[in-house]
Structure 1
Amino acid sequence: MELSTERLKIIPLTLRQFKLLLDGIDKMEKELKLNASNECLDEHTQEAMKGLYKEAVKNSDRYCWYTNWQIILKSENKTIGSACFMKCPDENGEVEIGYGINSTYQNNGYMTEAVQAICEWAISQQDVSIIIAETEKDNIASHRVLKKCGMEKYKETDEGIWWRMKVAE
């Protein structure tokens, strides 16, 4: 499966590709025949991805909800960021999305384009009625992305701001 926008390809990694990502972004890029991004996962992201990978293996029939989705800039054939869902939709049809973009590619609208495409895919799935996301309070760029994608603030905690998009019935 692959999502496509004007400037981006968005690919949910297979379990094999996800494992390669954990072994090093360069290994995953080589497998996908991408140009090298020269990026690496920071320690926090690496640990989060290890947890998601374990869940993806346990839920291989629904791995799209647990895998890493690579965001690839078509013009450079290079991964510029990624997104993921934190788990499959719960009993209320709620699913949480997370994402990040390499600093070189920030402030070009790529993340908004990618999040819109991934949310459209999620909304098209039968068991999804709400998409949520959490941002840090001072992450204004991420706030803008979510607003542009049609999300609204619905909760604020000491740690962050929660956003949601309800699927029209």
Structure 2
Amino acid sequence: MEQAVDECVGLLGAVTDRDWERVRAGRSDWDCRETAVHIAENLIAYAGQLAGREHDRWSPFLLSMEEDTGNADVLRVIGTTGALLAATIRTTPRDVRGAFHPYPFRSANREGFAAMGVAEVLLHTHDIAEGLGVSYEPAPELCDFVLTRIFPYVQPGPTPWPTLLWATGRGELAGRAPVTQWRWNNNAVIDTERLTLEGVTPAAAADLSTVGDGGFEWIEGGPMEGTRVGTGLVYKQYEDGVHRPEWGTYVLVRREDGRAIGAMGFHSVPDEEGRVEVGYDLVEGARGHGYATEALRALSQWALGRPEARTVVANVERDNLPSQNVLARAGFTQVAEDPEQLAYELREPREG
């Protein structure tokens, strides 16, 4: 956050003597002055949403500039509001979520707010710089931070900055159609009585698929190899441009202590017949408490509530009795078998 703000203030600080109110900011309908104020407004709004634990609406306050505030002073306010958001992010527990825009999943954690804040700074600094005829290219790691957290459906391009500009309708990318409408996506979250199922972002998937923890605090023994394999598939789908975050992997976080105990998710989006396959694993120390059953019921119910899904499918080894019991308790029915595996299904309820 601080790096993005420092780059913004440093670049635009060299052109504060110009008339920002008579110059349109890039392709937007705002002038450069309005756009700079908008950056500050968003940064303090995000800090307020996160600090105030606002879950379902915007915190009712506005930022206003004093009369006769100059361009340099607006940049000072951007620096201040950026620092406030950065401090809020650092001091907010990772399980806290706050409301933001009403799409697509209505909430974001501290990492989501960080990515949104950085995106606001990068994109609107670009707009102002374009309007004023100033060259601007932010650090690649800032652009990658944004793309891998709130643009999970955007296939990576050769370099992150042109990819982010293309994804937000601000530039062209070879081989890809122009973007006319866009929005970012924070990760989906599904709550159960004792658990939070947190959708894995491409950034977390890349970390988990190697030797990292994905930003989660795991109980001893986690994450399991199945989680690493599953998140590796998620990241491969992201690289191929076919990842749909809600149909990816979810980490199971125990609400009582905020620690991750396993993972559960879909192998891909539902097929043409509405069939979607689910898989899961649980760290050994969390087994025997009904967590897998609780999570599977919730995730299956969520999936069958979507219009594109009609049947949730699971395949389990013949000798894996605990997993078979989980499926049975979650309402699945065995429908087929072969020498190595048993196939289970849970279908959407029939009307009438």
- Under TM normalisation by the shorter chain, which class is it? 0.7 to 0.9
Q: Which residue in the other structure is 2:238 paired with? A: 56
| AA of the residue aligned to 1:53 | Y
Measured in 2, the distance between the counterparts of 1:156 and 1:46 equals: 27
Q: Between Structure 1 and Structure 2, which shows a larger proportion of helix residues?
A: 2
Measured in 1, the distance between the counterparts of 2:189 and 2:209 equals: 21
Identity of aligned residues (%): 25
Q: Which residue in the other structure is 1:2 paired with? A: 189
Which structure has the greater CA radius of gyration?
2
1:18-75: per-residue Cα shift (whole Å, max 9, x none)? Answer: 222224343422xxxxx34342443x65344323321134224x2222x321001111
Count matched residues: 161
2:326 aligned with 1:139: no
Q: Which residue in the other structure is 1:46 paired with? A: 228
Q: Between Structure 1 and Structure 2, which shows a larger proportion of strand residues?
A: 1
Describe the shift of the 1:151–1:27 C-alpha distance in structure 2 as closer, same or farther (beyond 3 A). Answer: closer
What do you get for the CA RMSD once the two structures are aligned?
1.7
Contact 1:88/1:95, CA 8 A, preserved across alignment? yes
Describe the shift of the 1:45–1:139 C-alpha distance in structure 2 as closer, same or farther (beyond 3 A). Answer: same
SS at match of 2:213: helix
Measured in 1, the distance between the counterparts of 2:246 and 2:203 equals: 13
Q: How does 1:65-76 map to 2 (within 5 A)?
A: 65=247, 67-76=248-257
Describe the shift of the 1:75–1:25 C-alpha distance in structure 2 as closer, same or farther (beyond 3 A). Answer: farther
Q: Which residue in the other structure is 1:99 paired with? A: 280
2:199 aligned with 1:12: yes
Contact 1:56/1:63, CA 8 A, preserved across alignment? no
Contact 2:210/2:228, CA 8 A, preserved across alignment? no
Q: How does 1:114-153 map to 2 (within 5 A)?
A: 114-153=295-334
Contact 2:202/2:234, CA 8 A, preserved across alignment? no
Measured in 2, the distance between the counterparts of 1:51 and 1:152 equals: 27
Q: TM-score normalized by structure 1?
A: 0.87
Contact 1:12/1:69, CA 8 A, preserved across alignment? yes
Describe the shift of the 1:106–1:87 C-alpha distance in structure 2 as closer, same or farther (beyond 3 A). Answer: same
Describe the shift of the 1:140–1:16 C-alpha distance in structure 2 as closer, same or farther (beyond 3 A). Answer: same
* Post-superposition offset of 1:88: 0.5
Name which of 207, 210, 215 aligns with 1:28: 215
| AA of the residue aligned to 1:28 | G
Describe the shift of the 1:6–1:45 C-alpha distance in structure 2 as closer, same or farther (beyond 3 A). Answer: closer
Q: Which runs of 5+ in 2 are unaligned?
A: 1-187
SS at match of 2:215: helix
* Post-superposition offset of 1:114: 0.5
* Post-superposition offset of 1:126: 0.9
Q: Which residue in the other structure is 2:289 paired with? A: 108
